Amino acid sequence: MQYIRIARFGGPEVLELAEQPTIPQPGHGEVRIKVLAAGTGFTDTFIRRGRYPDFKGPLPFTPGYDLVGVVEEAGPGVPAQLTGQLVADLCVVGGYAQYAIRPARFLVPVPDGVDPAEAVCIPLAYLTAYQMLTRYGRLPRGATILVIGASGTVGTALLDLARHLGLKAIGTCSATNMAVVERFGATAIDYRAGDFVAAVRGLTAGRAGGVGVDAAFDAIGGAHFARSFACLAPGGLLVGYGAQTMAVGGAGLASAALGLARLKLWNALSGLFGGRHAVFYNITSRRSAHPEDFKADMVTLFDLLRDRAIHPVVIDRLPLAAAREAHTRIDAGGLGGKIVLLPWPQGVISG
């Protein structure tokens, strides 16, 4: 089988295409999945650099945060009826491969007729967006949200789901990606053209709920959380869900920790800030704490995908050998969607 191997942390050059002569066998409670689509994204590059808090090795390892594939063999203790099912998994690492051994307990079935490349957008990007929008209090139709980095994979998922839920959206992005944001019916702000806090306040002036947005979603972290918090209307919610500045070396661990401390402080002293409050979202921690929500929300999202109520943006489909190219493009930013790796040549996906 072919797979991508990382033997040392670093840039895209550390991604190596490797082969092994044997196909791995599942153990107790595990299945072997024939991977049909492996998602790529910013989090994979975070892990590749060795800066992701939830994964530090051991080396070597195969990256790949999410995958979709067919259960080819079930190990002892796994219901035999899983064999042959198309499933999705949030694996954190291990997706960039033709085969993956995964615990059966978190697998979620993918409905018939769904494109695996679109389906693999669900486990990380869309689940993150959906849980942030719905698990901290559902926003009423007509509410206004702010999406920081709106052209990224989670950003476009937030915009897509906001449109489905009847929310108004404002998204920050670079000038080259304003059309991507506007395609979802959102208002785009070029964050390089001026003070986006002032822009948000101008766009929401005279709003019945007060100047500002009802919820803001920020993956940049660190000191940037303060700017997003300043965009909230009274009673608004800031959801932090990343530390991108730390991931790319733009800020250190202390800055990221300060950002998290601010979220906790704002939440604890909400009454002093007009009812504005803040939380931090981590998908793997939430899955561990609420596995029933994880599965239920994934099923909901796959039903929406099957019914074409949501529309993940797949900008390219590449072979495993192009993993370096995919990461180079992700590092450059401004993709406006997700690059998906297809481990098998066309016509070699059955069996």
pLDDT digits (tens, 9 = 90+) for 90-101: 999 999 999 999
- Strands 86-90 and 66-74 come out as antiparallel
Residue 347: its pLDDT value, please?
Answer: 56
Contact in structure between 200 and 232 (CB atoms under 8 Å): no
Hey, is 4 helix, strand or coil?
strand
- Cβ burial, residue 143 (10 Å; 0-12/13-18/19+): buried
With a cut of 70, list the residues of the chain below it in pLDDT. 243-256, 347-351
- Strands 30-39 and 338-342 come out as antiparallel
Rounded CA-CA distance 294/306 in Å is 18
Rounded CA-CA distance 71/83 in Å is 5
Residue 293: its pLDDT value, please?
Answer: 96
Rounded CA-CA distance 121/338 in Å is 7
Residue 351: its pLDDT value, please?
Answer: 41
Residue 325: its pLDDT value, please?
Answer: 98
Residue 107: its pLDDT value, please?
Answer: 96
Superfamily for domain range 125-285: NAD(P)-binding Rossmann-like Domain (3.40.50.720)
- How many other C-beta atoms lie within 10 A of the C-beta of residue 145? 26
65 Cβ contact list (under 8 Å, min separation 6): 39, 41, 43, 44, 47, 90, 91, 92, 93, 95, 123, 124
Cα atoms in the Cβ-side hemisphere of radius 13 Å centred on 70: 13
Tell me which H or E stretch contains 317.
strand 314-319
Residue 350: its pLDDT value, please?
Answer: 45
Residue for token digits 């929401």?
204
Do the first three CATH levels of 2-121+313-342 and 125-285 match, i.e. the same topology? no
Rounded CA-CA distance 248/244 in Å is 6
Rounded CA-CA distance 20/158 in Å is 39
What CATH topology corresponds to 2-121+313-342?
Quinone Oxidoreductase; Chain A, domain 1 (3.90.180)
What would the two tokens of residue 249 be? 């070396």
**Domain limits, the chain:** 2-121+313-342, 125-285
The one-letter amino acid at 180: V
- 38 DSSP β-pair partners: 67, 341
